[in-house]
């Protein structure tokens, strides 16, 4: 599904500091910025007509993987280099990325990557991604500006940032965000997830925020969807369900599993409260023609009970969305691999969520920063995948084994291989 080398490349973004030549009140990293960009791109794209959402997803992933390669070059310098040496830069980036992705889809993913870098197709989708990147950067700059007012060039940077906004006025969503309309509140809410740390009760390297974690799970879900040959809408829904799966935590904060599931009835109580907050502070700010679809992405559906209509929230439930109605699906979703059924592989997304947490813990342990809680959580997830290795014939335990061997974790944790 995905190689350990590519996983390592993705997680490099969690260690890449942004605005590191300016004083900052918080550490701003590339992984969080890219996650914010994907979220913003989703809303802008959904407000436009005739947008290929698969291109938005794949183009964003191509740009993300490329950005990690050129991270040492300042953005203004990089843009000038690309203006004059675009073909040479693209060839160099591709040479670095190719060994990581050449086996995916028997080379088809690499072919699309190369085509995206070297062609001028998908002008509208590229503009949406560029606008989303701009708004994510501007959101960061608002933080940087607070602590950099004493620098003599900060107002010059501010003016350049504000002037660039004009480049995206043709996009309805860009105008709405710029005018601080309803959707801007969702953009702000999601951005705050970069301040909520994963595994907050234990030291870890690299630290990852909830926002960055959401993107990692989304990318894993994308490669899972490629592996099962998901139709376009199923791939799209899987990606965005994963991308938004922790959005309610911007309202409740991250509650660790031992607490959430260790107290009887607490999980259900938290779920009910999340549902109330979503109805009060998220869905009212989503465009009206997108609300039903977005609620479905968040894992919300109606269910008729003896007591009347009940709203159920479970983002990790297999489900379909037909004729605007969400319903749980207990059979094989391969029988629903059609765009009009809008399937979501909720159970597989739970595997993606778990493998992301496994990687987060394992990387830190491999770097020598660990605690009893971190090791316990890591080994617990390893045992989970060992006991339940596959879903939809995609073997996640193979990723675990390759990861353990690549980072020498069998030896570090003194685990005997079978």
Q: What is the pLDDT of residue 267?
A: 64
Name the residue range of residue 160's domain.
4-218
Domain membership flag for residue 28: yes
Co-location of 314 and 357 in the same domain: no
Distance of alpha carbon 400 from alpha carbon 416, whole angstroms:
15
Check: CB of residue 282 under 8 Å from CB of residue 189.
yes
Domain boundary among 344, 372, 398: 344
Check: CB of residue 146 under 8 Å from CB of residue 52.
no
Q: What is the pLDDT of residue 73?
A: 74
Domain membership flag for residue 115: yes
C-alpha neighbours within 13 Å on the C-beta side of residue 379: 13
Domain boundary among 199, 218, 237: 218
Distance of alpha carbon 369 from alpha carbon 378, whole angstroms:
13
Check: CB of residue 299 under 8 Å from CB of residue 328.
no
- The verdict on whether omega for the bond into residue 206 sits within 30 degrees of 0, i.e. cis, is yes
Distance of alpha carbon 297 from alpha carbon 349, whole angstroms:
12
Distance of alpha carbon 5 from alpha carbon 101, whole angstroms:
9
Co-location of 334 and 365 in the same domain: no
Co-location of 74 and 162 in the same domain: yes
Domain membership flag for residue 135: yes
Check: CB of residue 161 under 8 Å from CB of residue 135.
no
Co-location of 212 and 340 in the same domain: no
Domain boundary among 344, 368, 389: 344
pLDDT tens per residue across all 418 residues of the chain: 899 999 999 999 999 999 988 999 889 999 999 999 999 999 999 999 999 999 999 999 999 999 999 877 777 777 788 889 888 989 999 999 999 999 999 999 999 999 999 998 999 999 999 999 999 999 999 999 999 999 999 999 999 999 999 999 999 999 999 998 899 999 999 999 999 999 988 999 999 999 999 999 999 999 999 999 999 999 999 999 999 999 988 887 655 555 455 556 666 677 778 888 899 999 999 999 999 999 999 999 988 776 777 888 899 999 999 988 999 999 899 999 999 999 999 999 999 999 999 999 999 999 999 999 999 999 999 999 999 999 999 999 999 999 999 999 999 998 866 5
Report the number of distinct structural domains present in the chain: 3
Of residues 362, 361, 364, the one with CA closest to residue 404: 362
Q: What is the pLDDT of residue 381?
A: 97
The tokens for 257 are: 């599993």
Domain membership flag for residue 49: yes
Co-location of 127 and 176 in the same domain: yes
Q: How many residues does the chain have?
A: 418
C-alpha neighbours within 13 Å on the C-beta side of residue 113: 25
Of residues 299, 302, 197, 300, the one with CA closest to residue 243: 299
Domain membership flag for residue 43: yes
In which region does residue 104 sit, left (phi positive, over 0), alpha (psi from -120 to 50) or beta (all else)? beta
Percentages (nearest 5) of helix, strand, coil residues in the chain: 65, 5, 25
Of residues 111, 117, 27, 35, the one with CA closest to residue 69: 117
What sign has the CA pseudo-torsion 115, 119, 121, 122?
Answer: positive
Domain membership flag for residue 241: no
Co-location of 353 and 340 in the same domain: no
97's CB contacts (< 8 A; 6+ apart) are 9, 65, 66, 69, 113
Domain membership flag for residue 177: yes
SS3 state of residue 157: helix
Co-location of 195 and 309 in the same domain: no
Tell me, what CATH number does 196's domain have? 1.10.3210.10
Co-location of 75 and 214 in the same domain: yes
Domain membership flag for residue 226: no
pTM, entire model? 0.94
Q: What is the pLDDT of residue 135?
A: 97
The tokens for 358 are: 């496994």
Distance of alpha carbon 273 from alpha carbon 252, whole angstroms:
9
Co-location of 297 and 356 in the same domain: no
Q: What is the pLDDT of residue 182?
A: 93
Of residues 375, 376, 350, 380, the one with CA closest to residue 364: 375
Co-location of 403 and 298 in the same domain: no
326's CB contacts (< 8 A; 6+ apart) are 295, 296, 300, 301, 302, 319, 320
Element (H, E) at 269: helix 266-281
Co-location of 136 and 282 in the same domain: no
Co-location of 77 and 196 in the same domain: yes
């Amino acid at each position: 599904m995905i190689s350990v080398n590519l996983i390592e490349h993705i997680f490099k973004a969690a260690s890449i500091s942004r605005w590191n030549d300016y004083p900052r009140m918080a550490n701003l990293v590339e992984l969080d910025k890219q996650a914010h960009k994907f979220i913003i791109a989703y809303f802008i794209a959904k407000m436009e007509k005739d947008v290929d959402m698969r291109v938005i997803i794949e183009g964003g992933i191509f740009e993300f993987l490329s950005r990690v390669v050129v991270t040492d070059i300042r953005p203004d310098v990089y843009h000038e280099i690309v203006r004059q040496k675009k073909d040479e830069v693209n060839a160099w980036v591709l040479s670095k990325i190719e060994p990581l992705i050449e086996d995916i889809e028997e080379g088809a993913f690499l072919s699309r990557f190369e085509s995206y870098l070297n062609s001028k197709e998908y002008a509208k989708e590229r503009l949406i991604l560029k606008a989303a990147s701009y708004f994510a950067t501007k959101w960061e700059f608002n933080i940087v500006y607070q602590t950099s007012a004493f620098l003599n060039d900060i107002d010059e940077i501010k003016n350049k940032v504000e002037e660039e906004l004009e480049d995206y006025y043709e996009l309805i969503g860009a105008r709405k965000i710029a005018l601080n309309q309803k959707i801007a509140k969702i953009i702000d809410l999601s951005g705050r997830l970069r301040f909520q740390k994963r595994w907050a009760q234990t030291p870890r390297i690299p630290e990852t925020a909830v926002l960055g974690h959401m993107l990692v799970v989304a990318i894993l879900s994308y490669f899972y969807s490629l592996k099962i040959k998901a139709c376009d809408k199923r791939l799209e829904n899987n990606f965005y369900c994963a991308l938004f799966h922790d959005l309610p935590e911007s309202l409740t904060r991250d509650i660790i599993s031992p607490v959430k599931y260790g107290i009887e009835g607490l999980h259900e109580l938290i779920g009910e409260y999340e549902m109330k907050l979503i109805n009060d502070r998220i869905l009212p700010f989503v465009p009206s023609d997108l609300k039903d679809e977005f609620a479905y992405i968040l894992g919300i559906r109606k269910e008729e009970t003896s007591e009347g209509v009940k709203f159920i929230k479970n983002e990790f439930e297999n489900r379909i969305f037909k004729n605007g109605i969400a319903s749980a699906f207990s059979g094989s979703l391969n029988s629903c691999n059609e765009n009009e059924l809008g399937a979501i592989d909720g159970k597989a997304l739970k595997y993606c969520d778990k493998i992301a947490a496994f990687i987060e813990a394992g990387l830190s342990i491999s770097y020598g920063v660990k605690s009893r809680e971190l090791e316990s959580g890591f080994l617990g997830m390893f045992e989970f995948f060992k006991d339940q290795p596959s879903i939809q014939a995609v073997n996640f335990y193979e990723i675990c084994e390759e990861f353990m061997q690549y980072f020498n974790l069998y030896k570090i944790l003194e685990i005997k291989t079978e």
